[in-house]
Structure 1
Amino acid sequence: MAKKVIQVCVVKHKQVRSNTEMTPDDFSLWLSTQRPATIVFEACATSNDWKQSAKLVANIRQNQKTDKNDALAIVQASQLIDIQFIKGKSFSQQELQSISKMRELAVKQKVALTHQINALLLEFTIRVSPRNGGLAGEISV
């Protein structure tokens, strides 16, 4: 897990009982000792490992953005009527999303590099025409 600390806010009968930081290992241990309860998490880049889900935190948070204030806002958001919870991605869904994002980045970088090379070649009055196969058509090996 990428997250080094997890802010755990415990609310019982609409009263905050505790709001403390825990390591992922401490959280797992703590969670294993708790009675069945509703657990809500903020959805973020590292949250999928825990299947974390809650939205609207930024709109509900009453003070500065801190993990402690976010944890309290997440609890408050989870108690709203008609809140839309999200499901975590499966491992294969995470893999596909990662591959797709990497491919998208590679395509953007390829286009940017091609444009940069074309611009540099123009400084030497070398024009690359897409009709002649573009940059690859101009390079003789």
Structure 2
Amino acid sequence: MNKTTVIGLDLAKHSFEVVVINGQGQLQQRKSLRRHTLLPFLLRQAPAVVAMEACASAHHWARRIGDQGHQVRLLPPQHVKGYLRGQKNDYNDALAIAEACVHGRVRPVPVKTLAQQDEQCLHAIRRGLNADKVRLSNQLRGLLGEYGLVVPRGDAALRRALVTHLDETATGLSPRVRTYLARQYARFVALLDELAWYDADLRQRVKQDEACIRLQAIPGIGPVVASMVRHWMGDGRQFTCGRDASAALGLVPRQHSTGGRQRLGGISKRGDPHVRSVVVHGARAVVSRASGKTDPLSCWVQQLRARRGFNKAVVALANKIIRMAWVVIARGEHYRPQGEVSSVAA
């Protein structure tokens, strides 16, 4: 890396700051470019390493720049910040990005393919719809509660209650309130229908992905978890082992050691919080249903739960799920329960 020209690029919506550092670490060029002049400028440069922060639109630009023959490095912004000197401005940001790339100690972020970004778009829309649905359902329950009408849990129960209370023959609600609730009911039903469409599309795409099919054999992984883990991890080759994958997702202990004394705390919570949350929810479902089962994984979960408690057993199982998912994705293997693996080895 120290003998290669590095181009540091600070991304923005319309204006881009560019610095060029030669193989000896000396600043060769500094330019401010508009959006439409960035690619022509890079096309005139000799093949180099183009470094950017992994921020909004970075993966789009990484694919476009990579098509021009340059090597692209996407660096995590939280690690680039340590290389920033002086006050914060676009030029200093671009220089910090270039120097972080020259240093070579910052692990780059893999460039997402177009298919991975499509999956990310699907999950972002689905997550937003689900949040809107929960927000609206809670509001409707609260409004009905003000009139003494308590609704059981679940979307189906809320729909039935609204249909019942919106009937003109029902007592307790004025015509004015029924009009308000009728409009909100129509919005609630539209959200449910929209969310159901995206769920069906997600399940259909999971059935067409061979890696997602293999992932669903792992306990705690269903279609949603399989799709999110698959698009987050990609081909898994950026990790050397399963523990690296779980550490990247923040499922390993946070360390604050000094003087040769190890101090470990809770999980680090690094990486994508949405992927981590669905994996933890999947692990929670497995731990809550492990009692009475005799397979090796369930026995391990029960013993860990008895020693360390429910929540720590859930996080430990989530860590193990990501490790197994890495083996399934990176090595192309099928999940085999522990007892089956032992019998095959024998």
Distance change >3 Å, CA 3–CA 83, structure 1 → 2: same
Quick one: which amino acid aligns to residue 129 of structure 1?
P
Q: Which residue of 2 aligns with 1:69?
A: 92
In the aligned structure 2, how far is the partner of 1:124 from the partner of 1:22? 61
Of 21, 25, 28, the residue aligned with 1:11 is 21
Write out per-residue CA displacement over residues 63-93 of structure 1, whole angstroms, 9 at most, x where no aligned residue: 2322211100001100124331122111111
Of 53, 66, 82, the residue aligned with 2:74 is 53
Distance change >3 Å, CA 132–CA 7, structure 1 → 2: closer
List runs of 5+ in structure 2 lacking aligned partners: 1-11, 63-72, 168-346
Q: Which moved more, 1:110-119 or 1:62-71?
A: 62-71
Residue aligned with 1:87, SS = coil
Quick one: which amino acid aligns to residue 54 of structure 1?
L
List runs of 5+ in structure 1 lacking aligned partners: none
Q: Which residue of 2 aligns with 1:85?
A: 108
Q: Which structure 1 residue ranges, 4+ long, deviate > 4 Å from structure 2?
A: none
Report if aligned partners of 2:75, 2:109 keep a CA contact under 8 Å in 1: yes
Write out per-residue CA displacement over residues 48-73 of structure 1, whole angstroms, 9 at most, x where no aligned residue: 11226123211211123222111000
Q: Supply the RMSD in Å over aligned alpha carbons.
A: 2.1
Residue aligned with 1:20, SS = strand
In the aligned structure 2, how far is the partner of 1:131 from the partner of 1:17? 63
Write out per-residue CA displacement over residues 14-72 of structure 1, whole angstroms, 9 at most, x where no aligned residue: 22223221123212111111112221112111111122612321121112322211100
From the two aligned structures, give the one with the greater helix fraction. Answer: 2
Residue aligned with 2:50, SS = coil
Aligned pair count reads: 140
Task: Determine if the alignment matches structure 1 residue 34 to structure 2 residue 45.
Answer: yes
Quick one: which amino acid aligns to residue 134 of structure 2?
V
TM-score norm. by structure 1 comes to: 0.88
In the aligned structure 1, how far is the partner of 2:18 from the partner of 2:146? 59
Residue aligned with 1:18, SS = strand
Of 145, 148, 167, the residue aligned with 1:122 is 145
TM-score norm. by structure 2 comes to: 0.38
Residue aligned with 1:53, SS = strand
Distance change >3 Å, CA 103–CA 131, structure 1 → 2: closer
